[in-house]
Amino acid sequence: LLLVSGGPWLFDQCDLLSAVCTTIKVLSEASVEARNSSIGGLDEEHRAADAVQVLGEARFSGARCHLRFAGEYSRLLRAYDSAFVHLRESTLRHGAMAASLDDLSHVRLEECDLSHFSVAAFNTQFNGKAARLDLVRTNVTGRYLWFNQDRPVVLDKGSNLHVQHLEGAWQHFSVRIRDNLNVHRQAS
């Protein structure tokens, strides 16, 4: 639907909705900010391929946004290369996965709510060891936290991460959690 390769762009109080295709693809060194907007598929029956894809050196930030209705094998958010994504007070709902991180991408979710994903909250498709995921006062509800074994070495949870009703992959999930100067290792 939207291919952004420049900017900065601001979407305020917008409904950016599509069926079949990716709703917003942010490329190169583009910069996009969304506020109080809905991004993704039209509804349960008419889903986007992905809600947001961020590639290259691009930046995407959102406040009080709703990423919704990604397709059966799609993500609400995909970050590749050296992309940076920062979402605040937003929801990511109704997709196969909430977010996919690869390469040197950095995703920061603050006071967000992630739920209703059919596969897992997070995954990496290619190479996720160097990617960074920051979760700050974020709620994650679903069956699995991470889909595959190729995940970032460090998950920085900021001050608070609430995980509800996770099973399966969560039981095998080992992560170093940084909380101020203390480092804790959660048993697998």
46-71 residue pLDDT tens:
999 999 999 999 999 999 999 999 99
Give residue 32's pLDDT.
Answer: 97
Residue 138's nearest CA partner among 101, 79, 92 is: 92
CA angle 73, 165, 137 (to 5 degrees): 90
Question: How many other β-carbons are positioned within 10 Å of the β-carbon of residue 16?
Answer: 18
pLDDT for residue 147? 81
d(Cα 80, Cα 156) in Å, to the nearest integer? 19
Q: Is a pLDDT exceeding 80 seen at residue 124?
A: yes
What pTM does this model have? 0.82
Closest CA to 90 of 125, 137, 154: 137
| 113 pLDDT higher than 70 | yes
Q: Which of 128, 164, 126 is nearest to 145 (CA)?
A: 164
Structure tokens at 143: 């069956």
| pLDDT tens-digit series, residues 138-158 | 888 877 777 876 666 555 444
**pLDDT tens for residues 59-110?**
999 999 999 999 988 999 999 999 999 999 999 999 999 999 999 999 999 9
What is the C-alpha separation between 5 and 17, in angstroms, rounded?
19
The Cβ of residue 32 has, within 10 Å, a number of other Cβ atoms equal to 23
